[in-house]
Structure 1
Amino acid sequence: MNKTPLTVRGAEKLKEELHQLKHVQRPAVIQAISEARAQGDLSENAEYDAAKERQSFIEGRIAELESKLSHAQIIDPAALDADGRCVFAATVEMEDLNTGDVHTYQIVGDDEADIKEGKISIGSPLARALIGKSAGDVAEVHAPGGMREYEIRKVRYG
């Protein structure tokens, strides 16, 4: 399987979630199943069914997180030296040439993307248009509303 790029912060968030699932939620759901089982007849026990369903979700998410972390290529933006080019984990300040609005985004992995936090997925059309470009370059993006042009003002790492 291919390595999936992930920033250091993204890897930390996944590890935190995995720890929470393994050491807090998993024991809690096991306790809930045990308590529901003690109530007797399991065929009409809604608490038991809900706890088993929750356990199934938790175990699935644990497996998913462990797989993602085992296949992650963790990239530290502070350690990058890409000669001012836009690369994975770089933070890019750019101006929308159609509106004059200035936006700042960090290019991150799919699991880390959150537009409200200024993080865009490496697979997004905008990130793909930015990759390899430097300050002063114009990136053209095919957006649902038509062609958009962004001038890259600044590229930072870390």
Structure 2
Amino acid sequence: MVEKVPMTQGGYTKLQEELRWRQQSERPRIIEAISEARAHGDLSENAEYHAAKEAQSHNEGRIGELEDYTSRAEIIDVSKMSGDTVKFGATVSLVDEDTDEEKTYQIVGDQEADVKQGRISISSPISRALIGKSVGDSIEVVAPGGSKAYEILAVKWG
């Protein structure tokens, strides 16, 4: 059975755009670089050729990954979700119980996570601690930097 990969519509769109770019722009550019480097003669000592072949390998590997993720994508429409309980797609506001620092995160699929933009992976320790909880609940997260306690301030959708 094929395991579905949960993601938001925005995350799915970004993966599709990267896939299209890699196939339609990056692949032809790399092929051109390989053919140019071949024209320089002896391939055994041709650094440009080896760099282009390495770039081609990396690009084709990423294309394979992107095709896999998009084919197994289970797009979850966050705008149609509601409720007081934290689940995939929720935007959760937390307060660190030790420092009173507030943070807001949206729980998203593994491929679209970006902590700097406030999007955390569904499989991260903090997400796993949040799932099923509600406003006012406290959670404890055991992270590489030690244990942290948070209180849930708000759960928003869309």
* Same fold per superposition (TM over 0.5): yes
Q: Does 1:37 align with 2:32?
A: no
Q: Structure 2: which 5+ runs fail to align?
A: none
Pairwise CA distance, 1:154? 0.9
Count residues in correspondence: 157
Structure 1 position 21, deviation (Å): 0.6
Q: TM-score, normalised by structure 2?
A: 0.92
Secondary structure at 1:103's aligned position in 2?
A: strand
Aligned residue in 2 for 1:137: 137
Q: Deviations over 1:62-119 (max 9, x none)?
A: 01110011111111211213x2211111100111122211110011112222211111
- Residue 148 of structure 2 aligns to a residue whose secondary structure is strand
Label 1:86 to 1:33 Cα distance change in 2 as closer, same or farther (>3 A): same
Normalised to the residue count of structure 1, the TM-score between the two structures is 0.92
| 1:52 match | 53
Which AA in structure 1 matches 2:57?
Answer: S
Aligned equivalent of 1:23? 24
Task: Provide closer, same or farther for how the CA distance between residues 94 and 28 of structure 1 changes in structure 2, counting only shifts above 3 A.
Answer: same
- Counterparts in 2 of 1:80 and 1:38: CA distance versus 1, 3 Å: same
Structure 1: gaps spanning 5 or more residues? none
What is the percentage of aligned positions where both structures have the same residue? 57
Q: Secondary structure at the match of 1:59?
A: helix
The equivalences for 1:59-98 within 5 A come to 59-81=60-82, 83-98=83-98
Q: How big is the alpha-carbon RMSD for the aligned residues of Structure 1 and Structure 2?
A: 1.5
Counterpart position of 2:123? 123
Matched residue, 1:6: 7
Quote how far apart the aligned CAs of 1:149 are: 2.1
Correspondence for 1:99: 99
Shift, 1:35, TM fit? 1.4
**Which whole-Å CA distance do the structure 2 matches of 1:98 and 1:46 have between them?**
54
Q: 1:15 to 1:146 in 2, by over 3 A?
A: same
Q: Describe the superposition over 1:126-147 as per-residue Cα deviations: whole angstroms up to 9, x where unpaired.
A: 1111101111222222234544
